[in-house]
Amino acid sequence: MKQVSIIMAAASIAAASLAQALPAAMPGPSASARVVTSDLDLTSRSGQATLRHRLAIAAAEVCGEASSADPAGRRAIRDCRVAVTDRALAELAARESGGRLAAR
């Protein structure tokens, strides 16, 4: 079964900003989520949209939530979600190309 792992430890920039903004709420290095891609046609727009939706849900699980009263925390969470999503897309691209592409 094809799947992409989103791993918080791989998003070191996001983790660093989270550590500064939300030390108590930051997930540990083992925080991860799996996104199944085997049922998707990633050459189609609908398959790509479904993948992005799944990645957004997984990134929210990995990065968590910040209080609406904490603007710095909300920015850190947003940055974390972007970083882990980008990392997962790079991992998927590398796998699809047989590992020839370097991760971003």
Gyration radius (Cα) of the chain, Å: 14
Q: List CB contacts of 99: < 8 A, sequence separation 6 or more.
A: none
Query: How far is the C-alpha of 33 from the C-alpha of 23, rounded, in Å?
Result: 21
pLDDT at 22: 42
Query: Is 45:10 a contact under the CB 8 Å cutoff?
Result: no
24: nearest Cα among 76, 87, 89, 100: 76
Does the pLDDT of residue 75 top 60, yes or no?
yes
Position 53 scores a pLDDT of 96
pLDDT tens, residue by residue, 3-49: 665 543 334 434 444 444 444 444 444 578 889 999 999 899 999 99
Q: In which band, very low, low, confident or very high, does the pLDDT at 54 lie, cut at 50, 70 and 90? A: very high
Give me the chain's average pLDDT, please.
75
Q: Which helix (H) or strand (E) holds 35?
A: strand 32-36
**CA-CA distance, 72 to 50, in Å (whole number)?**
30
- Torsion 14-85-33-104 (CA) sign: negative
